[in-house]
C-alpha cells in the first residue's frame, strides 16, 4: 500500500474526527490556549514529510545534558527573558521527533563520555574510558588496540567525499570530540606526556597526534582510499599540541610553560606544514578575520586547556568565540562542498559545570548550546540537513520541593501561595535544584568560573542559606555525599531530530543507534 496515501488518509480522518470532537467540547476547554497549542503541535507533526536522505548532518552533543538539565535550563532561559520560564522551549525541544536513549557502557551501569560517544560515532557500545575501540580492548594496554578499532561516521563521511568538522568547548582531545577521530586504549592519553612508556614504545599514538595525522592514518588503514582530511576543528587543548618548552608559548598562555608534550614535537607547526592553505588560529581576532567563503580548512585552538564557561568567556585573555559563533562559522566553511558535510558540535562545559557543582554554569552553557542549535537551524535548509541533538549521559542533578510557578529556578523553594522560602524540618530553607553528590556548598557570590570550587575540600550536608543569595553566579548547591567531583548519572537521555531521516529518532533506543540514524540519512555505508 502506498505510504503517502496512508499518511494522507490518516490526516484526513484526524481532521474529521477533530471537527466532530470539537463540537462536544465545552468552550472553556476548546478555547483554552493549552488545548489550542496542543492541537496545533500535533497537527504540525502530522503534516511533516519524512524524507529519508540528507545531504548534510549536524550532530549536537550536550555533554552531561540530562533531562533535569534540559528542564532547568528551559526555565532559566525563560526567566532570563522576564517570563515564568516553565512554558518555554529550548530551540531543539520544538523538533518534531525525539527518542529516549539508553546510555550504559558495556562494563558500566553509569557511563563515561568516551564509551558513550564511541557508541554514537561507531554504532558499537564499548567500555568506560576507551575511545574508538570495541569491548575487546583492555583499558591502558596499547597492544589490545590492534584489531579492535572501530570506524566512525566522521571517517566514513570523509571517505564518501563529504567535508567534516569537529567543535568542542572542551579540549579537542577530550573524550567526546576524540571519539570522532581517534583510537585509544585510554581517554587520558591526550598527549605523549600522558602515556606510559610501554605504550609509547609499543607504537600507540597520543590523541592529539591522531588528530593531526587523521588523513594519513585513514588512508593507511584503508588502502586505495583518498581523503582530504578534517576541514574544521575548533576547541581548546592547545597544551597537548605544543612542546613542554616556554619558547613555544602562545601569546595568551596562562601557564609559565603552556605545552605538555615531552617529545619536542610542535603539532600546530606540523599541521600548518601539511595544510599550507589552512589557517591556524588561537583567538577571537583570528576567528573574526576568517572569510568562510574562501577558507579551505581551519584549526582553532582557543585555550591552553578547556575553553571558558560561557559566563566566564569575557574574562579570556585573548578572547574566545561563543559556541554559536563557532557553529555558524563552521557551517559557512563546510557548505562550500557541494557534496555535503558532517559536523559534530559538543558543548563540553555543561558537564564541567555539573562536576563542579554549579547549576548556574551548567545551565548557562546549556542555554548557549540551544542558541548554537538555533544558529544551525537558521543557517541550513531543513529539506537537506538532518540536525540531531542529544547528550552523552546525565548527572545527579535534581529539581525538588514544591516551588510555585515562576519561582526562580536557582532560588530557594517558595511554596504555592507563599511569599517566603519554605523551611525544611531542620528549620532552614532549601533550594529547588541540587546535587546528590560532589563538592557541595560554595558561596562564591559573583564568580563565573565554576572550577574554583575545586580549591577547597568537599562540604556535604545542610547549610543555613537564610541570608545567602542562591541565584548568584558563584553559588554552588548543597550535596549529600562528599566527593572530589560530582558524578554522572545512569538514567536515559533524550535525542531530538529534525530534517531528512528525523523520523528514525523514535521510541527507546540504544545509544549506538545514533550512528545508524546518521548512516541511514547520509547513506555512508553501502549495502
Give catalytic residue positions: 113
- CB-based contacts of 82, cutoff 8 Å, min separation 6: none
* 74 class by beta-carbon count within 10 Å (0-12 exposed, 13-18 middle, 19+ buried): buried
Residue 274 CA: distances (Å) to CA of 230, 231, 250, 269, 346: 12, 13, 20, 9, 26
Rounded to whole angstroms, how far apart are CA atoms 151 and 134? Answer: 10
Q: Give the Å distances, CA to CA, from 220 to 205, 227, 405, 519.
A: 14, 11, 59, 23
Residue 376: CB atoms within 10 Å: 24
User: Rounded distance, CA 404 to CA 395, Å?
Assistant: 24
**Length of the chain in terms of residues written:** 527
In angstroms, the first-to-last Cα distance of the chain is 25
CA angle 124, 128, 130 (to 5 degrees): 70
Residue 13's H or E segment, with its range, is helix 3-22
Q: Strands 394-395 and 397-399, how do they pair?
A: unpaired
Cell of 319: 578572547
Closest-CA residue to 434 (of 454, 406, 414, 413): 413
Ordered alpha helix ranges (H), 348-494? 349-355, 359-379
Q: Is 36 exposed, middle or buried (0-12, 13-18, 19+ CB in 10 A)?
A: exposed
Query: Which DSSP letter does residue 459 get?
Result: B
- The residues near 497 (Cβ < 8 Å, ≥ 6 apart) are 95, 96, 97, 98, 99, 386, 387, 388, 389, 503, 504, 505, 517
Residue 67 CB burial class (10 angstroms; 0-12, 13-18, ≥19): middle
Q: With contact defined as beta carbons under 8 Å apart, do 454 and 356 qualify?
A: yes
User: In 279-358, which ranges are continuous DSSP H helix?
Assistant: 284-289, 323-334, 349-355
CA distances from 236 to 240, 302, 401 (A): 10, 5, 38
Amino acid at each position: 500500500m502506498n505510504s503517502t496515501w496512508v499518511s494522507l488518509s490518516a490526516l484526513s480522518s484526524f481532521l474529521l474526527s477533530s471537527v466532530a470532537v470539537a463540537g462536544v467540547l465545552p468552550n472553556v476547554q476548546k478555547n483554552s490556549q493549552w488545548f489550542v497549542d496542543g492541537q496545533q503541535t500535533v497537527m504540525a507533526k502530522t503534516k511533516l514529510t519524512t524524507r529519508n536522505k540528507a545531504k548534510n548532518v549536524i550532530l549536537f552533543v550536550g555533554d552531561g545534558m540530562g533531562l533535569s538539565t534540559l528542564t532547568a535550563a528551559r526555565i532559566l532561559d525563560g526567566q532570563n527573558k522576564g517570563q515564568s520560564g516553565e512554558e518555554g522551549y529550548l530551540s531543539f525541544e520544538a523538533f518534531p521527533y525525539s527518542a529516549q536513549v539508553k546510555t550504559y557502557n558495556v562494563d558500566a551501569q553509569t557511563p563515561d563520555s568516551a564509551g558513550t560517544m564511541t557508541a554514537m560515532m561507531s554504532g558499537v557500545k564499548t567500555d568506560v574510558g576507551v575511545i574508538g575501540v570495541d569491548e575487546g580492548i583492555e583499558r591502558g594496554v596499547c597492544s589490545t588496540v590492534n584489531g579492535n578499532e572501530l570506524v566512525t561516521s566522521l571517517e566514513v563521511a570523509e571517505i564518501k567525499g563529504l567535508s567534516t568538522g569537529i567543535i568542542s568547548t572542551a579540549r579537542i582531545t577530550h573524550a567526546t570530540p576524540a571519539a570522532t577521530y581517534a583510537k585509544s586504549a585510554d581517554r587520558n592519553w591526550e598527549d605523549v606526556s600522558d602515556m606510559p612508556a610501554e605504550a609509547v614504545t609499543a607504537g600507540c599514538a597520543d590523541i592529539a597526534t591522531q588528530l593531526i595525522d587523521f588523513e594519513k592514518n585513514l588512508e593507511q588503514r584503508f588502502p586505495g582510499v583518498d581523503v582530504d582530511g578534517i576541514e574544521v576543528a575548533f576547541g581548546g587543548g592547545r597544551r597537548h599540541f605544543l612542546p613542554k618548552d616556554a619558547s613555544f608559548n602562545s601569546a595568551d598562555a596562562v601557564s609559565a610553560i603552556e605545552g605538555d608534550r615531552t617529545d619536542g614535537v610542535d603539532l600546530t607547526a606540523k599541521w600548518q606544514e601539511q595544510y599550507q592553505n589552512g589557517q591556524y588560529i588561537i583567538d577571537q581576532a583570528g576567528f573574526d578575520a576568517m572569510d568562510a567563503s574562501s577558507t579551505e580548512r581551519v584549526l582553532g585552538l582557543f585555550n591552553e586547556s578547556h575553553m571558558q564557561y560561557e559566563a566566564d568567556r569575557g574574562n579570556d585573555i585573548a578572547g574566545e568565540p561563543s559556541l554559536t559563533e563557532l557553529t555558524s562559522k563552521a557551517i559557512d566553511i563546510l557548505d562550500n562542498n557541494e557534496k555535503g558535510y558532517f559536523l559534530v558540535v559538543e558543548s563540553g562545559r555543561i558537564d564541567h559545570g555539573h562536576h563542579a557543582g554549579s547549576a548556574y554554569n551548567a545551565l548557562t552553557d546549556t542555554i548557549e548550546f540551544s542558541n548554537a542549535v538555533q544558529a544551525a537551524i537558521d543557517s541550513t535548509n531543513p529539506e537537506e540537513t538532518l540536525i540531531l541533538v542529544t547528550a552523552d549521559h546525565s548527572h545527579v542533578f535534581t529539581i525538588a520541593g514544591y516551588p510555585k510557578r515562576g519561582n526562580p529556578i536557582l532560588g530557594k523553594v517558595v511554596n504555592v501561595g507563599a511569599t517566603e522560602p519554605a523551611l525544611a524540618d531542620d528549620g532552614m530553607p532549601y533550594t529547588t535544584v541540587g546535587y546528590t553528590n560532589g563538592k557541595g556548598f560554595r558561596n562564591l557570590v559573583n564568580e563565573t568560573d565554576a572550577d574554583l570550587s575545586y580549591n577547597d575540600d568537599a562540604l556535604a550536608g545542610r547549610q543555613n542559606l537564610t541570608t545567602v543569595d542562591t541565584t548568584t553566579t558563584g553559588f554552588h548547591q548543597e550535596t549529600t555525599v562528599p566527593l572530589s567531583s560530582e558524578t554522572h548519572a545512569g538514567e536515559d537521555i533524550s535525542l531530538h531530530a529534525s530534517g531528512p531521516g528525523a523520523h528514525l529518532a523514535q521510541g527507546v533506543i540504544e545509544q549506538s543507534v545514533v550512528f545508524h540514524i546518521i548512516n541511514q540519512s547520509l547513506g555512508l555505508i553501502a549495502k
